[in-house]
Amino acid sequence: MAHTLLIVDDSKVSRMMIKNKVSQLQPGWTVLEAGTGDEAVAMVRATPPDFITMDVNMPGINGFEAVAQIRQFNSTSKIAMLTANIQESSRVKASDLNVTFVQKPATEPAIRQAIDYFLAAA
């Protein structure tokens, strides 16, 4: 089934890595990109994607703040925090926001973990 995924990450390299792996694993998916949390909030408000991978450490609002804003008007997009910030406190924040947590780097197992979560929850 065709789904739409929004990749939110300030690193262009990370977005490329995630996009390439998703395209290999799920070639039918439409992949969109945002470079900041603010941009992501605007994109989700305009057209909610099915799934979102969200970095944490970005210029402007961070990934957790972006998720909190998104959840004020959208409860359907499934979200995976995909981040290098792997402190226990970050995992707790993700859990509090009811989103899953995937550790960078964006290797194939990491992307597969996010996809499995998206499809299990879809």
Partner 1 sequence: MGLSVPHVEMVTKLGVSDALTGQGADRICAVRQEFSGVLNTEAVLMFPVQQSLQLVQMMVGDDVPLEQLGEMEQEALAEIGNILLNSVVSGVADVLKLRFEGSLPCVELGPVQDVLCAQGQMTDQVLSVQIDFAIDALQIQGYLVFLLDVASVASLKATVQQFLGTLS
Given the rule CB under 8 A, which residues bind partner 1?
Answer: 10-14, 16-17, 20-21, 57-59, 84-90, 104-105
Nearest approach in angstroms of CB 8 to partner 1 is 15
Using the minimum distance from each CB to partner 1, give the nearer residue, 48 or 68: 68
Q: Which amino acid is at 67?
A: V
- Cβ neighbors of 43 (< 8 A, separation 6 or more) are 6, 32, 34, 49
Minimum Å distance from CB 18 to partner 1?
9
Least separation in angstroms between CB 90 and partner 1: 8
Going from the C-alpha of 74 to that of each of 6, 17, 25, 31, the distances in angstroms are 14, 27, 26, 19
User: Given the complex with partner 1, which of 74 and 91 has the nearer CB atom?
Assistant: 91
Q: Which is nearer to partner 1, 21 or 78 (CB)?
A: 21
Q: Which residues pair with 31 in a beta bridge?
A: 5
Specify the residue, 31 or 78, whose C-beta has the smaller distance to partner 1: 31
Closest CA to 37 of 15, 1, 75, 68: 68
User: Shortest approach of partner 1 to residue 122 CB, angstroms?
Assistant: 25
> What is the three-class DSSP state of 41?
helix
